Structure 1
């Protein structure tokens, strides 16, 4: 009998209401699937107390604090200080985010940059990696990060739920970023994502669910959950021409190193 490989779901949202009724069952399934650690992303500050409570409930959970680019209305004069305090108050905060740029759903680039920049500054100040959401915005995101690198102010981090081109991926890799694959890598038409999964260096990729969104094939269209990260890892392994144990070992080691997980 082969043992289940160890996996890390490097990006999930189990604080969402869709998990209210069966979270203990969801946890039992992720443990059975070999998921030994989860990184819970934050989209806006009012979530932080509930995410902290989840970390109390599930010892394998670590989390980030931040403001999503589609939630810029939640950025206030005191938000950076609130995020700083939240990160310093709990050692289980291992990243700043989910932050970034999204020009697919909104066209308010300047407003998004005004929320992005102080969070990037905070990550550098606290020496924490960032979790970047980047949709239809690779060009301005690369420009922002390259400018910061030239000034020695670019944090480490991960491009989460990767959906860009191989050329865009190369730009973020050159800046030192990791690339995280979600259920989209299992979608038949996601050809650029497939090519990225084949090409990404072994020491620079993660796997995630982004649950409850983007359930992988064959569960597409249903609620996603952390256990399904095994399907993401299996598809990445298939694309790379290696076995699942290899992808599990690499992605787990990469996540532990990036987020300094226990």
Structure 2
């Protein structure tokens, strides 16, 4: 049994039955639990993932849990009203985390750094007040366009993310997830020191992703998760296609090979890690 710890299920709308078909394929592939990410296209759509978690039931369908959050690309929309709505959504039982939240210095059109930081801090405070883990999005400007690099200058999204977590979330004693972990071993070490888990996505299977593979081999087995980030980042052999939760099995197999264990053991360990991080999912699934 596998758990997809990060999927954007509300994006499957190309035809009326698409989401049901995606969920059925996931179930048949052994993916029995999915954390649906509640960011939508903007804060007005944060509720969509929780709506799914509260309504998806039936045969050949995984159990769905939800998060809610304001993505850094939408930080300018982290208004008093949207933060209040986030608090309302995150207070509900099947909303088990705040996210994905964090910093993104990659796209030119993203809000300025201070706006992103303000939204990030506000959401960490909400998570701490509700005793909920956070799901971190962190993207640097390393590979950005020249104009984006000029906009963000020498700022380091990893360094800024870690510093803000240390100041505003670590005192809560709560854990979190570094979603789609794309850093190096030192970034992994600093994340683990914060009490966070590292979640690996399909980009780990790409030829140029050696530093991600190094981090996946380095991290303790009890602190790793697997995800799809569907419909994005399909793993090899599906790279370039639309990703979906069923494909998390390919990422899990790649991580298992890196660590010299069987796919079954990797599935069992990452499933246990998820339940430890989110205890309410264990009791519901049992």
TM-score in same-fold range (> 0.5): yes
Q: Which TM-score band applies after superposition, normalised by the shorter structure?
A: over 0.9
Greater RCO structure (CA 8 Å; 6+ sep): 1
Conserved 8 A contact 2:177-2:196: yes
Instruction: Give structure 2 stretches of 5+ with no counterpart.
Output: 58-62, 141-156
The superposition leaves residues 167-220 of structure 1 with CA deviations (integer Å, 9 ceiling, x where unpaired) of 011001001000000001111110000101111101100000000000000000
Deviation, 1:73, is 2.9
Q: Given the two structures, how large is their TM-score scaled by the length of structure 2?
A: 0.85
Deviation, 1:72, is 1.4
1:29 aligns with 25
Conserved 8 A contact 1:177-1:204: yes
Partner Cα separation in structure 2 for residue 67 and residue 259 of structure 1: 20
Partner Cα separation in structure 2 for residue 49 and residue 108 of structure 1: 26
The alignment yields a C-alpha RMSD, in angstroms, of 1.6
Paired residues in the alignment total 255
Larger CA deviation: 217-226 vs 154-163 = 154-163
Conserved 8 A contact 1:18-1:212: no
Q: Given the two structures, how large is their TM-score scaled by the length of structure 1?
A: 0.92
Q: SS in structure 2 opposite 1:164?
A: coil
Deviation, 1:26, is 1.0
Q: SS in structure 2 opposite 1:211?
A: coil
Partner Cα separation in structure 2 for residue 46 and residue 228 of structure 1: 29
Q: SS in structure 1 opposite 2:74?
A: helix
1:91 aligns with 93
Q: 1:81 aligns with which of 80, 84, 90?
A: 84
Q: SS in structure 2 opposite 1:242?
A: coil
Partner Cα separation in structure 2 for residue 145 and residue 49 of structure 1: 25
Conserved 8 A contact 2:34-2:65: yes
Instruction: Give structure 1 stretches of 5+ with no counterpart.
Output: 1-5
Deviation, 1:50, is 2.6
**Does 2:278 align with 1:259?**
yes
Larger CA deviation: 120-129 vs 69-78 = 69-78
Q: SS in structure 1 opposite 2:215?
A: helix
1:203 aligns with 222
Q: SS in structure 2 opposite 1:219?
A: coil
Partner Cα separation in structure 1 for residue 47 and residue 80 of structure 2: 20
